[in-house]
């Protein structure tokens, strides 16, 4: 019975059916399925299929956004229960588009993928000053900061943000991953980032590697 509901949650999430995911999640809660199971075997399981399909170019940004919206519906129901039952997120990630850059579709996708993989995500928005990244990471005890840029002119802000972490004496405790259309692995190495992800699904995998939660 429980397995059947969980499979249905995953299936409807992959199809992007928000109302169904929400209703099935509530059904699972009412049936006494543990919230941890609902999260991992229903919502996260569905979202990881979406991530895989996205990587293989079988799904595109619109499908991912629709699936993520469906996941959000399920999360709304179980988030208060997760907190009450003491289920800890895999880790905390502060995400933002760097100073001078106002692009957010890629960042939003990464946030959704990370949340879909079981992380607590603190979305700092766009045009984020280096100091704000540092303060937010400290405040939320984040183990990872994700920096996004879509303009070549704002890529320098990534280096400034990493420098600000060094200055604050936090570089050893906080990992940094970077991403965005103009970026490459060699640029990430050059600025001293811990990792580079070419797309949102890879970013969720990379977060797992960097936080040791994979």
Two tokens, residue 76: 């709304």
**The tokens of 49 are what?**
């299929």
Q: Within this chain, do residues 71 and 131 fall inside the same structural domain, yes or no?
A: no
Give the chain's domain count. 2
Same domain as 140, residue 69: no
pLDDT in single tens digits along all 214 residues of the chain: 789 999 999 999 999 999 999 999 999 999 999 998 999 899 999 998 998 999 899 998 899 889 999 998 999 999 888 878 887 888 999 999 999 999 998 899 899 889 888 899 999 999 999 999 999 999 999 999 999 999 999 999 999 999 999 999 999 999 999 999 899 999 999 999 999 999 888 998 999 999 985 4
Cβ(54)–Cβ(200) under 8 Å? yes
> For the chain, how far is it from start to end, CA to CA, in angstroms?
29
Strand order in the sheet with 92-97: 120-123, 92-97, 144-148, 175-179, 195-196
Q: Identify whether residues 62 and 122 lie together within a single domain.
A: no
Residue that finishes a domain, picked among 85, 117, 144: 85
Q: In this predicted structure, what is the pLDDT of residue 214?
A: 45
- Could you tell me if 163 and 61 lie in one domain? no
Among 50, 67, 85, the domain-final residue is 85
Q: Are both 205 and 111 inside the same structural domain? A: yes
Cα separation, 98 vs 160, in Å, equals: 10
Closest to 78 in 3D by CA, of 9, 125, 12: 9
Give the residue numbers spanning the domain of 29. 2-85
Question: Do 8 and 30 fall within a single domain?
Answer: yes
């Amino acid at each position: 019975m429980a397995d059947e509901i969980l499979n249905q949650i995953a299936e409807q999430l992959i199809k992007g059916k928000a109302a169904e995911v929400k209703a099935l999640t509530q059904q699972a809660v009412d049936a006494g399925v543990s919230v941890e199971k609902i999260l991992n075997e229903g919502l996260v399981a569905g979202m990881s299929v979406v991530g895989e399909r996205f990587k293989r170019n079988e799904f595109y940004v619109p499908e991912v956004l629709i699936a993520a919206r469906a996941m959000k519906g399920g999360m709304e129901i179980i988030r208060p229960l997760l907190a009450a039952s003491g289920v800890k997120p895999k880790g905390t990630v502060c995400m933002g588009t760097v100073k001078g850059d106002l692009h957010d579709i890629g960042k939003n996708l990464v946030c959704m993928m990370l949340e879909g993989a079981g992380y607590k995500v603190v979305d700092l928005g766009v045009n984020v000053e280096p100091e704000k990244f540092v303060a937010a990471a400290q405040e939320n005890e984040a183990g990872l900061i994700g920096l996004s840029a879509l303009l070549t002119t704002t890529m320098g802000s990534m280096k400034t943000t990493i420098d600000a972490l060094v200055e604050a004496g936090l570089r050893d405790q906080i990992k940094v991953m970077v991403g965005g259309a103009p970026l490459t692995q060699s640029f990430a190495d050059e600025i001293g980032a811990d990792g580079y992800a070419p797309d949102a699904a890879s970013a969720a995998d990379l977060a797992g590697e960097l936080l040791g939660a994979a």
